[in-house]
Structure 1
Amino acid sequence: MSKVEIGPYQLAEITLSKDTLLVSKNKDKVNVMALAWKSIGELWGYPICTVAVAPSRYTFSLLNDLQEFTLNVPSPKIESAVNIAGSYSGRDTDKIAQASLTLTPSRFISVPMIQEAMINYECKIIHTAESGSICSHRLFFGEILAAYAENSLLTKK
């Protein structure tokens, strides 16, 4: 299915209503993580995607190292990938291969996007914050550099 570039907030309602797949990487390895805790908004005048990741997660170290990620909203065809991404650690499992996902290059960052996703966001981390004493997650504030969506999402009435 072909995709077009969209505004960062254009399909935020869909993105926020679904579990997503966050892709991160280091020099040698690309990883995917199931992600439910996210928001889309604005920080210091920039369009932002904020994600919450626990320090115990493999993704946590990848985000801290490269400071980039893609957020990918699964199409119905790949919704099972969320279960795979959330059930194994990327430290010892190639979750992308196990979920039969196809990676495609991003335009502005080195972290790839998931081709089969219906919406993709390219994000560069510009700030982090600890989430507080109730929950031990770090918030990663990623400036949305580009967003893409399947054409069919834009033509639905």
Structure 2
Amino acid sequence: MRLHLADPQTVIREILPALGVENALLTAGTADRCNTMTIGWCQAGRLWNLPVCTVYVRPERYTYQFMEERDYFTVSVLPESEKKTMALCGSRSGRDLDKIKECGLTVRYGAGDTPYFAEAEAVLVCRKLYVQDMDPACAAAGEEKILPYYGEKGGWHRIYTGEIVEAYSARPYAK
């Protein structure tokens, strides 16, 4: 699949139906050391009049340290044919296994030399703008819907909002 540089707003509209349903891969790190993980929680849109993407990572996740160390991250939406890749990247830790190698993913680099995958249908390359820990005291309503995501599974997520500085699509949109 060949990715083309595209307008972030166009790619946001393209990937919105996939976020939280088909899932995506969140990746952070460098050419020498990076990690990826399947994410189901992700939003894209506009904030502070900028195109943005927001992702959520628990401190217990191996990817967390890469998110903390780097100013950039990527979100890659893979085609449905990559279900095995999505399953492995969502169930195994990069501490124990080189998931990228195991899945046979082809690494490419965007702004900030941030890794993403050539196999993706769409990619957002983001520069961190805002980082904040989720706080259980701020669960205003619907606690019965929120709290089951915590407890045995781990701690509360850290929120990362990044400005989309590059976007790629398998569809040949003009930039």
Fold-level similarity (TM above 0.5): yes
Structure (1/2) with the larger strand percentage: 1
Aligned partner (choices 128, 147, 152) of residue 167 of structure 2:
147
What fraction of aligned residue pairs are identical, expressed as a percent? 30
The more displaced of 138-147 and 13-22 is: 13-22
Conserved 8 A contact 1:127-1:142: yes
Distance 2:4 2:58 in 1: 32
Task: Report the residue type matching 1:115 in the other structure.
Answer: A
Q: Deviations over 1:42-94 (max 9, x none)?
A: 22111110001001001111101112111000112322111110111111210
Over the aligned positions, Cα root-mean-square deviation in angstroms equals 1.8
Distance, in Å, in 2 between the alignment partners of 1:9 and 1:79 is 26
Could you tell me how far apart the structure 2 residues matched to 1:41 and 1:131 are? 20
Q: What is the aligned partner in structure 1 of residue 93 from structure 2?
A: 89
Larger radius of gyration: 2
Post-superposition, which runs of at least 4 consecutive aligned residues in structure 1 deviate over 4 A? none
Structure having the higher helix fraction is: 2
Matches within 5 A, 1:8-87: 8-10=8-10, 11-16=14-19, 17-25=21-29, 28-87=32-91
Candidates 124, 138, 142, aligned match of 2:158: 138
Relative contact order (C-alpha < 8 Å, sep 6+): which is higher?
A: 2
1:141 is paired with a residue of what secondary structure? strand
The total of aligned residue pairs comes to 152
User: Mind listing any 5+ residue stretches in structure 1 that lack a counterpart?
Assistant: none
Note the alpha carbon deviations across 1:81-137, whole angstroms, 9 max, x for none.
11110111111210001111110121x221111000110111111111122215500
TM-score by length of 2: 0.80
TM-score normalised by length of structure 1: 0.88
CA distance in 2, matches of 1:43, 1:73: 21
State the distance in 2 between where 1:77 and 1:15 align.
Answer: 14
| CA shift for structure 1 position 140 | 0.3
